[in-house]
DNA sequence: CCCTGGCACTCTGCTTCGGCGAGTGCCAGT
DNA sequence: ACTGGCACTCGCCGAAGCAGAGTGCCAGGG
């Protein structure tokens, strides 16, 4: 059985009211607050159907209806009108983001901005190394058997690692390795580097082979394995709004999940181009986040995506507003990166 | 009036029991659990005095006593015996910290370790730049009017900043500036650099003066102004232990405070050599942390201190244990850094 | 002088119990 | 197909009562 227009309208009203008031909404209150030209009794029948279909439910017999995860899903898919940002919000975004001085700064400002605007927990992934290219590699001798490897990516990210060498190496040799490495790897996509690094080892003279192999293994680690690690988080205090009513009484599991970078990266890192992804309650694979929703999207200069960002909040959240904000911030950040 | 030995013993017993059980402790329970050879009635009299002196109080008339902030203070100052770490803890520390691959890694492992051992929120400051020296400065041309400045400190910290130049500069000139800058600043304490940077500008030839001035200003920012910024945080989920009973019902203010890096740096950054500082409840200047305690200490290779670390928890915490753990972790990290 | 046992008192927390009100489901009527 | 009416169901709230823990004080004993 398909839901007719009015039933959908009723669902929308329920979602909107519940999000606004945080209280189960009854038939009478509904007809008062929204102009749908029917009586409470009619609405009740509609609600009965909606409940049967699994879009709403009653917390207890006889006390208003509350949207289910499926209800929210239907709402965001078919019912929510895009809510344009207020001029104030636009201004806030611009004001917040100008004057950022380096990548760290951009990311930190962004994550705070996002948390503030949405009043939720915000997460911003640093530009993923996998999707960027090498701008420069620097080798700095630290002692005779140790060198510091510094990689600068075109997105502005800088990674460093200490390399332990099996045998002492002269500074001149380091310099030579430095130019060799740069020559081979500069301007290459990080994802493409592994074979090049291997070639680097194969092509080096036998007496320097072991040293180079050592460097190569650290290089690979830095360029590939560790490549998705960094992200920034803000707004955890927002979890406490709604006085523990959201998140079924305990934010413990949520806080735990937020501490696991791996989890967060799963949440905001997997993005298809120019889509905003919304995960509602149960749709999250992570058990700890069963009572939370995540809105995430990718960002990057132009159409390419270099990283993800998003927010996490209670399933009972203002989806249209949040989605609009997340998108807008992502676009601004992308523009900012493009100017670089 | 001074408190005799038994009264102090009673206070200790109250603190220990309250910390363990989280419930107000009465006279009867006290004499049962601790072998102080007197009757409940006597203990009651002592408690009356302790209350008058402000070391304990009753949450409500007629329901056990609870230590006040002053009570905890007296406890940590005069009553707590040092609690040696269990072998298991020692092993945990070592296991956790070996295999750290660079400074970031060390800091992250440390903060997680600390959170896990103390079961509180842990904070670790990155080695303060102000207390370290320059190991190497790198200038990487990004475009003709932009160069990336990378500074490597002897503690392993790496900072980068983008420098916008007023006019295009040839790569060769950049190289020359690079060696000039290194020659002057390498191995200098960061705190000593400002005059040297100024000299660098003054000594440069007129045609390169403005470029150098530009670089210098960013240098100063990087070396001095932004120098204390970085820190790592872990274990926020531990705030939810004790089911919202600690922190007078709302962890909102605490979470808010934890988001302000400035606040955290105040808390753990101000350390005198080889002291462990304990701030209890009201002793915190920050209003939001009036119901929290902070245990912090400095760490560094040998006796010098390069940064601070510590934990934050409810005033009702196991002070002896926490202090011991914080100290031990600080020492291990110091040793780790010294090997570098 | 300090400690002890006893006693009366004061609370809080928990449980029980109605009454109230919101909200529903169903039904008959238009 | 919608509406108004009606009976019913429950959760919430305040009052009342009960039990238990803990206290303060006092008089007696080492």
Q: Which of A102, A158, A259 is opposite residue B234, by nearest beta carbon?
A: A259
CA dihedral sign, ordered B126, B127, B133, B136: negative
All structural domains of chain B with their residue ranges: 5-79, 87-128+229-339, 130-223
- What pLDDT shows up at residue B113? 96
C-alpha distances in angstroms, A288 versus A190, A259, B173, B234?
A: 33, 12, 55, 18
Two tokens, residue A174: 């380091």
**CATH number assigned to the domain covering A87-128+229-339:** 3.30.450.40
Whether B114 and chain A come into contact, CB under 8 Å, resolves to no
Burial of residue B71, with CB atoms counted within 10 A of its CB: 0-12 exposed, 13-18 middle, 19 or more buried: buried
Q: Region A114-135: what's the mean pLDDT? A: 91
Q: Is the pLDDT of residue A164 over 80?
A: yes
- What pLDDT shows up at residue A2? 58
pLDDT tens figures, A118-128: 999 999 999 88
Report helix angle A319-338 to A87-97, nearest 10: 40
Residue B240's CB is within 10 A of a number of other CB atoms, namely: 18
Of all nucleotides in the shown strands, which has a C1' nearest the CA of A40?
D3
Q: Region A164-181: what's the mean pLDDT? A: 88
Helices (H), A119-271: 171-185, 193-203, 206-220, 252-259, 261-269
Report helix angle A206-220 to A171-185, nearest 10: 60
Calpha distance B6→B36 (Å, rounded): 8
Calpha distance B19→B318 (Å, rounded): 6
- Decide if B71 contacts B56 (C-beta within 8 A): yes
Two tokens, residue A258: 């937020």
Q: Is the pLDDT of residue A245 over 80?
A: no
For residue A115, which phi and psi values (nearest 5 degrees)? -65, -40
CA B133, distance to chain mean position in Å, is: 21
pLDDT band at A302 (very low <50, low <70, confident <90, very high): confident
Whether A234 and chain B come into contact, CB under 8 Å, resolves to yes
pLDDT tens figures, A218-240: 888 877 776 667 899 999 999 98
Q: Is the pLDDT of residue A264 over 70?
A: yes
Closest residue by C-alpha to C1' distance, nucleotide D12: A63
Calpha distance A251→A249 (Å, rounded): 7
Using the structure, give the distance in angstroms from the CA atom of B178 to the C1' atom of D18, rounded to a whole number. Answer: 84
The per-residue pLDDT string of chain B (340 residues; one tens digit each, 9 = 90 and over) reads 456 888 999 999 999 999 999 899 999 888 988 888 888 999 999 999 999 999 999 988 878 899 999 999 999 998 888 888 999 999 999 998 888 878 888 999 999 999 999 999 999 999 888 788 888 888 888 788 888 888 888 888 888 888 888 889 888 888 888 888 899 888 888 888 888 888 888 888 888 888 888 888 888 887 777 666 789 999 999 998 876 677 877 889 999 999 998 899 999 887 777 789 999 999 999 999 999 999 999 998 888 888 999 999 999 999 999 999 999 999 999 998 887 6
Q: Is the pLDDT of residue A188 over 80?
A: yes
B266 sits within 7 Å of strand D by its CB: no
B33 sits within 7 Å of strand D by its CB: no
- Decide if B156 contacts B107 (C-beta within 8 A): no
Q: Is the pLDDT of residue A1 over 70?
A: no
Determine the length of chain A.
340
- From the list B318, B310, B320, the residue with the least C-alpha distance to B267 is B310
Calpha distance A332→B240 (Å, rounded): 36
Task: Report percent pLDDT > 70 for chain A.
Answer: 97
- Decide if B125 contacts B268 (C-beta within 8 A): yes
CA A337, distance to chain mean position in Å, is: 17
- Decide if A164 contacts A146 (C-beta within 8 A): yes
Burial of residue A177, with CB atoms counted within 10 A of its CB: 0-12 exposed, 13-18 middle, 19 or more buried: buried
Contacts of B202 (CB under 8 A, 6+ apart): none
Q: Region A238-258: what's the mean pLDDT? A: 84
CATH architecture of A130-223: 2-Layer Sandwich (3.30)
- What pLDDT shows up at residue B7? 92
For residue A9, which phi and psi values (nearest 5 degrees)? -60, -40
- What pLDDT shows up at residue B166? 86
Task: Report percent pLDDT > 90 for chain A.
Answer: 41
Calpha distance B164→B145 (Å, rounded): 6
Mark A255-287 as b/e (b = at least 16 C-beta within 10 Å).
bbbbbebebbbebbbebeeeebbbbbbebbebe
Cβ separation of A102 and B160 shorter than 8 Å?
yes
Backbone φ/ψ region at A128: left (φ over 0), alpha (ψ -120 to 50), beta: beta
Answer whether CATH 1.10.10.10 is correct for domain B5-79: yes
Using the structure, give the distance in angstroms from the CA atom of A6 to the C1' atom of C21, rounded to a whole number. Answer: 29
Round the CA-based radius of gyration of chain B to a whole number and report it.
26
CA dihedral sign, ordered A108, A111, A112, A113: positive
Two tokens, residue B221: 């920012």
pLDDT tens figures, B245-258: 778 778 899 999 99
Calpha distance A15→A20 (Å, rounded): 8
- Decide if A324 contacts A83 (C-beta within 8 A): yes
- What pLDDT shows up at residue A270? 76
CA A21, distance to chain mean position in Å, is: 28
- What pLDDT shows up at residue B152? 85
- What pLDDT shows up at residue A244? 66
The model's pTM is 0.88
- What pLDDT shows up at residue B227? 60
Across chain A, what does the average pLDDT equal?
Answer: 88
B333 vs A158: which has the higher pLDDT: B333
Round the CA-based radius of gyration of chain A to a whole number and report it.
26
Calpha distance A323→B272 (Å, rounded): 48
- What pLDDT shows up at residue A51? 92
pLDDT tens figures, B10-55: 999 999 999 999 899 999 888 988 888 888 999 999 999 999 999 9
C-alpha distances in angstroms, B12 versus A259, B1, B318?
A: 35, 19, 12
Calpha distance A55→A73 (Å, rounded): 9
Q: Which of B135, B256, B340 is opposite residue A237, by nearest beta carbon?
A: B256
User: Tokens 């690690």 belong to which residue?
Assistant: A229
Q: Which residues of B touch A138 (CB under 8 A)?
A: 138, 140, 150
- Decide if B153 contacts B133 (C-beta within 8 A): yes
Calpha distance A59→A70 (Å, rounded): 15
pLDDT tens figures, A2-19: 568 889 999 999 999 999
- What pLDDT shows up at residue A49? 92
The four Cα atoms A134, A138, A142, A148 give a dihedral, to 10 degrees, of 0
- What pLDDT shows up at residue B317? 95
Residue B199's CB is within 10 A of a number of other CB atoms, namely: 12
């Amino acid at each position: 059985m398909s839901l007719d227009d009015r039933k959908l309208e009723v669902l929308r009203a329920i979602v909107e009211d519940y999000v606004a008031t945080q209280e189960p909404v009854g038939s009478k209150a509904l007809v008062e607050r929204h102009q749908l030209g029917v009586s409470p009794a009619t609405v009740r029948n509609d609600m009965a159907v909606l409940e049967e279909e699994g879009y709403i439910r009653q917390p207890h017999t006889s006390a208003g209806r509350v949207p289910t995860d499926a209800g929210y899903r239907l709402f965001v898919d078919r019912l929510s009108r895009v809510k344009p940002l207020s001029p104030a919000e636009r201004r806030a975004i611009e004001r917040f983001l100008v004057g950022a001085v380096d990548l760290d700064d951009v990311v930190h400002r962004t994550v705070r901005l996002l948390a503030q605007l949405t009043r939720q927990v915000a997460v911003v992934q640093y530009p993923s190394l996998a999707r960027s290219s090498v701008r420069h590699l620097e080798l700095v001798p630290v002692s005779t058997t140790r060198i510091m490897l510094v990689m600068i990516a075109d997105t502005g990210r800088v990674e460093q690692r200490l390399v332990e060498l099996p045998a002492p190496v002269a500074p001149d040799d380091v310099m030579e390795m430095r130019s060799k490495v740069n020559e081979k790897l500069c301007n290459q996509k990080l994802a493409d580097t592994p074979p090049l690094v291997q070639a680097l080892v194969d092509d080096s003279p036998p007496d320097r082979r072991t040293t180079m192999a050592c460097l190569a293994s650290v290089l690979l680690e830095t360029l590939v394995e560790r490549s998705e690690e960094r992200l920034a988080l803000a707004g955890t205090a927002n979890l406490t709004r709604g006085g523990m009513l959201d998140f079924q009484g305990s934010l413990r599991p949520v806080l735990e999940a937020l501490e696991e970078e791996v989890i967060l990266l799963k949440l905001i890192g997997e993005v298809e181009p120019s889509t905003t992804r919304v995960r509602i309650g149960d749709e999250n694979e992570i058990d700890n986040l069963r009572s939370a929703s995540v809105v995430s999207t990718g960002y990057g200069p132009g159409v390419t995506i270099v990283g993800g960002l998003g927010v996490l909040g209670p399933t009972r959240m203002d989806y249209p507003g949040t989605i609009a904000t997340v998108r807008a911030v992502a676009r601004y950040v992308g523009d900012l990166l493009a100017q670089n």
